[in-house]
Structure 1
Amino acid sequence: MDIQVGNTVRCKANGNMEADFSGVIEKVYENSALVNITDYDAKTDSMNIQDLQNKAVISFGKMKLVSAK
């Protein structure tokens, strides 16, 4: 997967978020990336998003490229 800064991705729910969410890649690591969360399920994750300050590190295996920069 060719993940780069600025790409939009769809991420699977994980330990930090209860529902799937979308975001923009801010930084790429070896096996994961820092995602600025832009779209999420407000019913289930409104408190989580505040705790995370709209950011989460997600492994490449838990994300799908939506659009490239």
Structure 2
Amino acid sequence: MKIATINIGDKLQGKVQEDLEHPFTGTVEKIYSNSVLLTIDDYDPRDEDNVAELNHKIVVKAQSLKKFKKNDSTAK
């Protein structure tokens, strides 16, 4: 996804191997030049400890995100 198409408040889906093993959805809090700060909203229960350690926030490269589709939601 291109950074120019992202707005604060957008709900996005991502997968970040380094911090979370499974896909998650989050809301855009801040936009940087090539990445965004997300509040993690929905995630796989197996990632619960990691999400808590991250304080429900994560910085993700824009190109590894996609728009959230309601039928693609992850379980919490």
TM above 0.5, one fold?
yes
Runs of 4+ residues deviating >3 angstroms: none
What CA deviation, in whole Å up to 9, does each residue of 1:3-39 have, x standing for no partner? 0100000001320101000010000000000000000
Structure 2 residue 63 is the aligned partner of structure 1 residue 61: yes
Which segments of 5 or more consecutive residues in structure 2 lack a partner in the other structure? Answer: 70-76
Contact 2:16/2:60 (<8 A) preserved: no
Which residue in the other structure is 1:17 paired with?
20
Would you say how many aligned residue pairs link Structure 1 and Structure 2? 66
Which residue in the other structure is 1:49 paired with?
51
SS of the aligned residue for 1:26 comes to: strand
Which residue in the other structure is 1:7 paired with?
10
If the length of structure 1 is used for normalisation, what is the TM-score?
Answer: 0.89
Aligned residues with identical type, % of pairs: 33
Shift in Å, 1:48: 0.1
2: CA distance between counterparts of 1:13 and 1:33? 13
1: CA distance between counterparts of 2:27 and 2:18? 19
| Structure of higher RCO (CA pairs closer than 8 Å, 6+ residues apart) | 1
If the length of structure 2 is used for normalisation, what is the TM-score?
Answer: 0.81
